[in-house]
Chains A and B, each alone.
Chain A
Amino acid sequence: KNEVEQSPQNLTAQEGEFITINCSYSVGISALHWLQQHPGGGIVSLFMLSSGKKKHGRLIATINIQEKHSSLHITASHPRDSAVYICAVRVNFNKFYFGSGTKLNVKP
């Protein structure tokens, strides 16, 4: 049983396209995180959400607590956005569930 499901698993886009990655979860959470894992393996935290919407540059993250769903949007995608995007939910202080990731490839 996967507490966190991401879709799609793989995504190929042309440079400039608008991209959406979805995350659904089945447990009550205190926060949801979006992470970016670069091709070299490093992990960077993009957003932490407990409600509403956050924006950072070309990235937008939204969460609907009632529907247990979050989306990560990338506007005007660029090849440097190519990475694995991971959704993670915090259930309590020591319980963190991670999605298996969405691999994004943006072609020039």
Chain B
Amino acid sequence: NAGVTQTPKFQVLKTGQSMTLQCAQDMNHEYMSWYRQDPGMGLRLIHYSVGAGITDQGEVPNGYNVSRSTTEDFPLRLLSAAPSQTSVYFCASSYGGQETQYFGPGTRLLVL
């Protein structure tokens, strides 16, 4: 099993550009989530999904969209990047919302 994979590992964007951060898991997990990690603030939940076709907002959803067309994939879209979105983004998955989460390696995003 590859576990949770994320691409790209690093990305530089200009303000206003859009992009999609990819996340995939091969463990047949129903629950997937996106977090951002900023210095001194800990991880914060952006969006989550409890299964294909079902998504919901977390703590800091503004500026981000998600979709879940398959169990395996959970992409995160930045519609119009802003410098405040400079962060490290982690995708995670688990069998259920109450179970141990498996994290991807992270995507480091810099918005200029």
Contact present for A99 and B42 (CB under 8 Å): yes
Is B53 located at the chain interface by the 8 A CB criterion?
A: no
Please report whether the interface of chain B is mostly helix, strand, loop or mixed according to DSSP.
strand
**Total chain B interface residues with beta-carbon distance under 8 A:** 25
Contact present for A90 and B98 (CB under 8 Å): yes
Which of under 10, 10 to 19, 20 to 34, or 35 or more describes the interface residues of A?
20 to 34
Residues of chain B within 8 A of A33, CB atoms compared: 100-101
Contact present for B103 and A100 (CB under 8 Å): no
> Among the listed A4, A31, A42, A97, which residue makes an inter-chain contact with B103, where contact means beta carbons less than 8 Å apart?
A42
In the complex, the chain B residue whose C-beta lies closest to that of A101 is: B42
Contact present for B88 and A41 (CB under 8 Å): yes
Contact present for B43 and A88 (CB under 8 Å): yes
Q: Which of A70-87 contact B (CB under 8 A)?
A: 86
| Shortest CB distance B50–A (Å) | 8
| Shortest CB distance A54–B (Å) | 11
Q: Which of B82-112 contact A (CB under 8 A)?
A: 88, 90, 92, 97-103, 105-106, 108
Report Cα–Cα, A48/B41, bound state, in Å: 21
Is B74 located at the chain interface by the 8 A CB criterion?
A: no
Residues of chain A within 8 A of B101, CB atoms compared: 33, 45
> Among the listed A4, A41, A94, A101, which residue makes an inter-chain contact with B48, where contact means beta carbons less than 8 Å apart?
A94
Is A98 located at the chain interface by the 8 A CB criterion?
A: yes
Report Cα–Cα, A30/B58, bound state, in Å: 17
Contact present for B103 and A94 (CB under 8 Å): no
The 5 A-B residue pairs whose C-beta atoms are closest, nearest first, are: A98-B42, A43-B103, A98-B43, A100-B42, A45-B100
